[in-house]
Structure formats: C-alpha cells, structure tokens
C-alpha cells in the first residue's frame, strides 16, 4: 500500500521536501557566517517558533474575532484563551512575523526579536525564561536579517499548517544530527505519533511522557481531541526530559499549539519527578533505544521494575535498557490506563533475560496491539521499529489476545530517504484496530467517507477539463496558422496528426466519463455495508477510467510538445526565424509559450483524476480485506493471536512472525516514467554525496600530511 498521493495539501509537489530546501538555505547562511551550530540552534528554532506561531495565529484569527460576543455595540477584545481553544497563541503586533520582516533598514533587529519574545513570555507565564532573546545579539545584524527573510519564503505564506510542523520537526532532527544540542538523539516523526494517538485515543486525564523530547506526543494527543470537536484542556500533560535545552523546545512546541504542560528536568532511569507511579491515564513515549549505561545497582529495587532487570553485564550495567522503558510504561498506568510507545524492533523478540521480562508482561494480559513499521520513518535513523500498546482496562474477552499488525508494506515516500504514512493510511490502520475492538460502525463510516469523497472528487473533473481543452484548442489554432502558409512538412504533419487523434480520443473519453458521473452517481449511497459494496463495484470502473485518462492527458501534452519541437527543428525553414522568417520564429515562440501555459491546467486535470481514483482505492483497500466489516486474519497484514500462540513462539511479540506473507499485488498506480525519474534523482543525489565525501576524505588526508 505504498502511495504518492493523498488528499492533504501538504502532499502537493510544492511542499514535499520543502523542509530540506529551507534547512539548506538556513544552514548555508550559518556556514558562511562562521557561527557554530550550537550557537545557531536556539536562535533559529526561536524564529521558526515565531513564524509557526504567526501562521497558526492568522489561520484562526478571523474565526476567533467572529465568535467574540458583542455588548453595548462593542465587541469584546480577544483573549489568549480564545486562541488556545483553537490551537494557537495570541500575538501582540510587535510579535507578529510580518512586523519583524518589514522593519526598515537600520532597525535594531536583535532588540525587536527579543522584544517579540518578551511580549509572548509576558502573556504566557509557562514560557517565562524559555524563549531565546540575548542569543540574537550574537548572530549579528546581517545574519539575523537574512535569516528572518529566508524563513519567510513566498511558498511558506500559503503553506498548510502541517507543513510548518514538518519543518519544525526536520530542523530539530537536523540540529540533533549535527550534535548541536542533544548528542544526536532523534525526535519522533509526527506520522508515528499520530498513529499512536489514533490507536490510543486519549480523551481526558493525565498524559505522561517520560522521554519527553519536543513534546510531540502531547501535541498530537491534543490534535486528536480537537478533531473530535472537544476541548484539549481536558487532558493534563506531564513530561520528563533530561536535557534543559530540549525542555525549552518542548515548551515552545506546546505554546505554539496553544497548549501548556508541566515538563520537569530529570533522568527517568533514576528519578520519578512527577510521582505518577500507577496513576497515569495515558503513557506515550519514544525512548532512546538500546541504552547500555544504566547502573544496575541503582535501579534493581525500583518499584517501577516489577518484572525484574532484563540482564546485567560484567561492568554492572543493565545490558540493554529497552525493557527498563517497557516496564516503566506499564508501571505508570493506573488500573484502566493505556500506553502507546515506540520501541526498537529488536526488543519484541530479544532472548535471554529480556525474554523472561517479556513473558511476564504478556502474562499480565495488558499487551493490546503490536505494530511493525518499516525502516526510513525517522529523519536521522534508517532502522525499523515497532509500536507497542498496553491496555490495563482491556475487556475480559480480549485479555488473552494481542492484535499483530505488520505495516511494513504500508508507507508513502516523502523523499528519497524518508517515508511516512498518508492521512488515509493512518486511518486505514486505525480502522483495523476498530474492527479488533468490535467497533464495526466506525469502519463502515470510514468506508462511507471514502466513497463519498470519490464521488465528490469525480464531480469536480468536468470543471478542470475545460481549461485544458481550451489550451489545447489554442495550440491547434497556432499550429495550423504556422502550417497554413508554408510548404507541407511531412514530419510535422505526421506528429500533428498523432496529436489530434490522441486529443480527440482523450476528450471523447473525458466527455463520456463526466456525463456518466453526472448521470449515475449524483448522490451518496446509503451508509450500509451492502450498499457500499455495490457502490464500490460501480466505482471500480470509474477509478480505472481515471487512471487511463491520466495517461491519455499526459500523452496529448507530450505530443503537443513534439509538434512544437518538430516545427522548431525543421531545417531549412523560415519557421526557425532565419532571414525573412523572423515573424514565423516569433510564432514558434508563441507556440512554446502556449505549451508552457498548458502545463498548469494539465496538472490540475491529472491531479483531479488521481484524487478520484485515490479515494476509491482506499475504500477498496478496506473492503477487499474485510468484506463483512468484521475482523479477520489477512496474510501479511494482521492476525489476532492468543497467549498460547505467543508462548509457542518463545514469547515473541514480532508481528511478522504471526501474520505470514502477503500475496503479491499488482500496483495499478505504478508510474514507469515517474519511477525512472526517481531513480535518476536518487543516482544524482548519491553522486553528489560521493563527491562531497571524496572531497572530505582528501581534505582529511592533507591535514594528516598524507
């Protein structure tokens, strides 16, 4: 279920990989300024905080102001609570990014940025002393001015808020990779955090993260609550983090989303600063993997380790800290509590003492769901991982069962090195969990949503056909005008004939499709499984037609380009603007311009066709695997296993050991040309990296006197 397409604007080609471009621009400025990365880190993250906060502020400003009560003919001024309810913070004029960017030449930028930070701290006491201020004096006026502008490109002014979240995350991980602030520890990709929240479904109570990082778990928990049209203030956030700088980042991340949390400094291996042992409603975390420096004597009597130590090496250190974390997560839960966390894929089948701890955990009956994730989901690590879920309040009929989900074949390629889940993939995975929990109605509602979106997207096709059709007609007139007064040119005439035949066939097919869409699918089907299955069978033809038309539209465009090339390359010919053919040469340039202008309506039409097929594909993905809207084992994807099954498998909790191998599927959306382009791009990137590495090696050798 790999995917290049999604309904979200974040998936637009304009934004995929955008975080890398922005980072490269900012990092180039740092390199040229001579500012070390550890001094550059906080000022940059502070400006990103301001930029992100400003976008969130603008996104809700109109709604906030429209909802304010009017008394005596005057509208009440907005408060920070009004913005917090909508996941944003109230910004005074001097803290708004546009104000900072528009300051005149000669203005004291460092003072202005520090003033913006101080105004935010004055309104949000949880941020008091946390935002960077004096650091901007160290950057220098020129560097700060350029940085303000580089973090405010035109594309970012209209970007979806999710893009900012990804940029924020990417900058954090890149600075971590440079050892700028935390020794290179990595942050949890929002894709995985969202999936954890979707499975865990936090509603109200205390959410604890004892490896807090940048507070992404809290942000996604609040987002989950908001999507249910409820107030995230019904959640209380408690965090533990050992790095002071990371605590500052976490508080900034919370604030920019209109949230607050109590994040304490501490080393979880040896400290419990919140004293929430056995009291947390939810535990969510992404701890460091495979740590081997924990002092066994200091933790062996810790009540948070009821299953014992996983093993001690000759130096008196715990040989691997993974099961310390797993034990902590279980221990912090109250009798009805639920946990969801990221863990190294090695842990689920580790042997020796770790296997003994795992057995005891399985025997509690609290292991609920295990999810395997493929490699390349993290920006700074390529390792695969697994998501573990505990539920101490699991009903009796499931206490002996564990849902095994192998999601390694479900992913979307963001860049050459980074994968994630599309929003629909996240929903589909959650839908399997719903069926496991007996929530059949939610599954049916999601299928209905996909079917409705398929019809909605299909209804928009007719509107985007016309601009493409008109553009093609304009080009036809231009070509005929060029050819009308000139001697016949066999090669041009032949290409033009092919192009006209392809265009006629394409537009006839589009006309037939749009007519059928209007006639056969004017209304959604009933939200019942029988009606959905029938509608899906009907829409299969629509999706196939859309996929075929994508190729037809692209063919028309390519053949049009060949016509222009043939006209330009005809020699000897006045059409190239030679001698007395200047006027004709200008006409060819007009033709090229028309072709360039045609690309935008072509893209819009292709995207609309793809979107229509995409949502049909999501409904098909669910109903083809669960046709009765009831949970069943799907080879290579999911299976519910009993405690006896797990015992037979040496207490392994690795999903792939139970679900089997998925049958080979034909990828109907496979794009050969796009794949070749991706391969060429990857090869070019690898060549650049190889050249850079060779230069670095040569420089090191020269410094060594070799």
Residue 61 inside a domain? The answer is: yes
Q: List CB contacts of 612: < 8 A, sequence separation 6 or more.
A: 454, 457, 458, 461, 542, 543, 546
| CB atoms closer than 10 angstroms to residue 108 | 13
Cβ(463)–Cβ(451) below 8 Å: no
For the cut 70, the answer to whether the pLDDT of residue 486 exceeds it is no
Assess contact for 267 and 205: CB atoms under 8 A.
no
In a domain, 649, yes or no: no
Identify the residue with better confidence: 358 or 44: 358
pLDDT score, position 27: 80
- Confidence at 572, pLDDT banded by 50, 70, 90: very low
Tell me the C-alpha distance between 522 and 627, whole Å: 25
For residue 609, the model assigns a pLDDT of 96
- Residue 319 domain-assigned (yes or no): yes
pLDDT given for residue 522 in this prediction: 73
Residue 4 has pLDDT above 80, yes or no: no
CB-based contacts of 186: which residues, under 8 Å, 6+ apart? 173, 176, 378, 379, 380, 381
- Cβ neighbours for 27, distance < 8 A, ≥ 6 positions apart: 174
pLDDT at 487 over 80: no
Lowest average pLDDT, out of 67-76, 259-268, 389-398, goes to: 67-76
Same domain? 457 vs 425: no
Pairing mode of beta strands 205-209, 235-241:
parallel
Sequence-distant (≥ 6) Cβ neighbours of residue 116 within 8 angstroms: 50, 94, 95, 96, 100
Going by C-alpha positions, the residue among 454, 418, 391 that lies closest to residue 617 is 454
Give the tens place of pLDDT for each residue, 551-568: 999 999 999 888 888 877
Does residue 133 carry a pLDDT above 60?
Answer: yes
Indicate whether 236 and 130 sit together in one domain: no
With a CB cutoff of 8 Å and minimum separation 6, the contacts of 289 are 322, 343, 344, 346, 383, 385
What angle, rounded to 10 degrees, do the helices at 490-520 and 440-459 form?
130
Task: Judge if 290 and 330 occupy the same domain.
Answer: yes
Q: How many CB atoms are located within 10 Å of the residue 288 CB?
A: 14
* Span 608-642, pLDDT tens digits: 999 999 999 999 999 999 999 999 999 999 999 99
Tens-place pLDDT, residues 153-188: 877 777 776 677 677 777 776 776 665 544 435 467
How would DSSP label each residue in 335-381?
EEEEEEEEEETTGGG--HHHHHHHHHHHHTT-EEEEEEE-S--SSS-
- DSSP 8-state secondary structure symbol assigned to residue 11: G
Secondary structure element (H or E) that encloses residue 318, with its range: strand 317-318
Separation between Cα atoms, residue 404 and residue 349, nearest integer Å: 14
Tell me how far apart the terminal alpha carbons of the chain are, to the nearest angstrom: 51
User: Contact, 211 vs 268, CB < 8 A?
Assistant: yes
> In this structure, are 401 and 519 located in the same domain?
no
The CATH number given to whatever domain includes residue 121 is: 1.20.1260.30
626-651 core/surface letters (b: 16 or more CB in 10 A; e: else)? beebebeebebbbbbbebebbeeeeb
Q: In percent, how much of the chain has pLDDT > 70? A: 86
Among 143, 175, 207, the domain boundary falls at: 175
Calpha distance 610→545 (Å, rounded): 10
Judgement on whether residues 228 and 369 belong to the same structural domain of the protein = yes
Output the six-digit token pair for 186: 């990595």
CA 2 to chain centre: 14
Q: Are residues 417 and 463 in the same domain?
A: no
Taking the CA of residue 394 as centre, how many other CA atoms within 13 Å lie in the half-sphere pointing to its CB? 23
Task: Give the whole-angstrom CA distance, residue 615 versus residue 617.
Answer: 5
Does residue 88 fall inside a structural domain? yes
Q: 95 and 211, same structural domain?
A: no
Kindly report, residue by residue over 246-293, the tens digit of the pLDDT. 888 889 888 888 888 999 999 999 999 999 999 999 999 999 888 888
pLDDT at position 478, please? 83
Indicate whether 605 and 459 sit together in one domain: yes
- Which residue do the tokens 């580089």 mark? 150
**Residue ranges in 34-108 assigned as alpha helix (H):** 37-67, 80-84, 97-101
Query: Which pLDDT score, from 0 to 100, does residue 685 have?
Result: 61
Specify the long-range contacts of residues 217-221, CB closer than 8 Å, at least 24 apart. Answer: 217/188, 217/193, 217/284, 217/285, 217/286, 218/254, 218/259, 218/261, 219/193, 219/253, 219/254, 219/257, 219/259, 220/190, 220/193, 220/194, 220/196, 221/197, 221/282, 221/284
Lowest mean pLDDT, pick from 26-40, 100-114, 381-395: 26-40
Question: What's the pLDDT at 612?
Answer: 96
Q: What is the pTM of this model?
A: 0.84
Which residue did the predictor score with more confidence, 21 or 236? Answer: 236
Could you list the residue range(s) of the whole structural domain that residue 26 is in? 9-175
> Does a structural domain hold residue 664?
no
The answer as to whether 256 is a domain residue is: yes
Average pLDDT for residues 309-338, to the nearest whole number? 95
254 and 403 inside one domain? yes
Distance CA 666, CA 5 (A): 17
Tokens of 247: 């605590």
Boundary of a domain, candidates 438, 472, 489: 438
pLDDT value for 700: 66
- Does pLDDT of 706 surpass 60? no
> What was the pLDDT predicted at 10?
40
Number of domains in the chain: 4
Query: What is the C-alpha to C-alpha distance for residues 201 and 118, in angstroms, rounded to an integer?
Result: 36
Domain final residue, candidates 175, 209, 229: 175
User: How much is the pLDDT for 514?
Assistant: 94
User: Mean pLDDT, to the nearest integer, of 503-507?
Assistant: 94
Domain contains 551:
yes
Percentages (nearest 5) of helix, strand, coil residues in the chain: 60, 10, 30
Question: Would you say residue 255 lies in a domain?
Answer: yes
Residue among 280, 291, 297 nearest 340 (CA): 280
638-665: pLDDT as tens digits: 999 999 999 999 999 999 999 998 777 6
Position 571 pLDDT exceeds 60: no
pLDDT bucket at 587, cuts 50 / 70 / 90: confident
242, 267 Cβ separation under 8 angstroms: yes
Element (H, E) at 306: none
Tracing tokens 């933790």 back to the chain, one arrives at 299
Task: Over range 17-37, report the average pLDDT.
Answer: 75
Q: Give mean pLDDT, residues 14-31.
A: 72
605 and 506 within one domain: yes
Percent of all residues in the chain with a pLDDT value above 90, rounded to a whole number: 53
Q: How would residue 494 be classed by pLDDT, with cut points 50, 70 and 90?
A: confident
Is 436 a residue whose pLDDT tops 50?
A: yes
Mean pLDDT of the chain: 86
Backbone angles phi, psi at 96, to 5 degrees: -85, 135
Per-residue three-class SS string for 457-517: HHHCHHHHHHHHHHHHHHHHHHHHHHHHCCCCCHHHHHHHHHHHHHHHHHHHHHHHHHHHH
Both 347 and 461 in one domain: the answer is no
Distance from C-alpha of 611 to C-alpha of 638, rounded to nearest angstrom: 27
Q: What token pair was written down for 9? A: 């604007």
H or E element: which one contains 285? strand 280-285
pLDDT at 302: 95
User: pLDDT value at position 663?
Assistant: 76
List C-alpha distances in Å: 522 to 104, 395, 459: 56, 43, 8
Q: pLDDT value at position 45?
A: 86
Mean pLDDT, rounded, for 386-403: 96
| 466 and 412 share one domain | no
pLDDT reading at 479 higher than 50: yes
392 CB-side CA count, 13 A: 17
Average pLDDT over residues 443-460: 96
Report the pLDDT value the prediction gives residue 689, as an integer from 0 to 100: 65
Query: Is 60 exceeded by the pLDDT of residue 63?
Result: yes
What's the CATH number where 267 sits?
3.40.50.150
């Amino acid at each position: 279920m790999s995917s290049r397409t999604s309904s979200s604007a974040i998936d637009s080609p304009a934004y995929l990989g955008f975080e890398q471009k922005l980072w490269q621009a900012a990092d180039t400025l740092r390199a040229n300024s001579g500012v070390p990365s550890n001094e550059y880190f906080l000022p940059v993250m502070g400006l990103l905080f301001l930029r992100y906060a400003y976008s969130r502020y603008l996104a809700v400003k109109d709604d906030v102001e429209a909802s304010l009560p009017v008394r005596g003919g005057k509208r009440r001024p907005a408060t920070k609570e009004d913005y917090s309810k909508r996941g944003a913070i109230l910004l005074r004029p001097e803290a708004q990014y546009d104000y900072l960017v528009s300051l005149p030449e000669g203005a004291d930028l460092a003072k202005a940025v520090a003033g913006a930070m101080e105004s935010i701290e004055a309104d949000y006491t949880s941020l008091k002393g946390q935002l960077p201020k004096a650091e901007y004096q160290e950057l220098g006026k020129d560097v700060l001015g350029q940085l303000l502008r580089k973090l405010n490109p035109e594309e970012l002014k209209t970007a979806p808020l999710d893009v900012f979240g990804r940029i924020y995350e990417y900058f954090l991980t890149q600075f971590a990779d440079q050892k700028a602030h935390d020794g290179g520890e990595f942050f949890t990709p929002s894709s995985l955090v969202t999936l954890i929240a979707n499975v865990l479904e936090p509603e109200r109570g205390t959410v604890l993260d004892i490896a807090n990082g940048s507070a992404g778990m809290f942000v996604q928990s609040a987002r989950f609550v908001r999507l249910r049209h409820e107030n995230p203030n019904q959640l209380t956030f408690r965090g533990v983090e050992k790095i002071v700088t990371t605590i500052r980042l976490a508080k900034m991340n919370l604030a920019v989303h209109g949230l607050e949390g109590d994040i304490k400094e501490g080393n979880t291996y040896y400290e419990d600063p919140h004293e929430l042992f056995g009291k947390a409603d939810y535990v969510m975390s992404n701890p460091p993997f495979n740590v081997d420096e924990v002092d066994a004597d200091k933790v062996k009597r810790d009540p948070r380790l009821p299953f014992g130590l996983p093993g001690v090496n000759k130096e008196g250190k715990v040989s691997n800290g993974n099961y310390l974390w797993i034990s902590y997560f279980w221990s912090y839960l109250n009798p009805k509590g639920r946990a969801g966390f990221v863990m190294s894929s090695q842990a689920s089948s580790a042997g020796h003492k770790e296997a003994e701890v795992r057995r005891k955990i399985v025997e509690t009956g609290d292991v609920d769901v295990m999810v395997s994730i493929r490699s390349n989901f993290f920006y700074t690590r390529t390792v695969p991982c697994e998501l573990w879920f505990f539920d101490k309040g699991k009903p009796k009929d499931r206490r002996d069962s564990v849902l095994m989900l192998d999601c390694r074949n479900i992913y979307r390629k963001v860049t050459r090195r980074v994968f994630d889940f599309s929003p629909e993939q996240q929903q589909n995975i959650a839908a399997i969990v719903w069926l496991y929990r007996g929530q059949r109605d939610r599954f049916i509602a999601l299928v209905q949503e996909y079917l409705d979106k398929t019809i909605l997207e299909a209804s928009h096709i007719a509107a985007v056909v016309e601009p493409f059709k008109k553009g093609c007609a304009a080009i036809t007139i231009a070509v005929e005008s060029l050819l009308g007064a000139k001697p016949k040119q066999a090669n041009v005439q032949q290409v033009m004939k092919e192009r006209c035949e392809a265009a006629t066939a394409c537009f006839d097919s589009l006309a037939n499709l749009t007519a059928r869409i209007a006639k056969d699918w004017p209304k959604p089907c009933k939200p019942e499984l029988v009606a959905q299955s029938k509608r899906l069978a009907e829409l299969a033809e629509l999706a196939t037609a859309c996929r075929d038309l994508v190729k037809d539209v692209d063919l028309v465009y390519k053949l049009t380009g060949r016509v222009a090339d043939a006209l330009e390359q005809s020699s000897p010919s006045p059409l190239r603007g030679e001698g007395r053919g200047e006027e004709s040469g200008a006409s060819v340039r007009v033709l090229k311009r028309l072709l360039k202008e045609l690309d935008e309506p072509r893209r819009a039409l292709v995207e609309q066709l793809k979107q229509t097929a995409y949502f049909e594909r999501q409904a098909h993905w669910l109903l083809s695997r669960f046709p009765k809207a009831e949970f069943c084992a799907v080879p290579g994807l999911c299976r519910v296993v009993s405690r006896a099954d797990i015992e037979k498998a040496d207490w392994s909790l690795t999903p792939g050991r139970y679900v089997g191998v998925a049958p080979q599927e034909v990828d109907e959306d496979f794009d050969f040309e796009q794949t070749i382009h991706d391969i060429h791009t990857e090869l070019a990137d690898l060549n650049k990296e190889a050249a850079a590495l060779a230069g670095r090696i040569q420089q090191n050798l020269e410094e060594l006197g070799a």
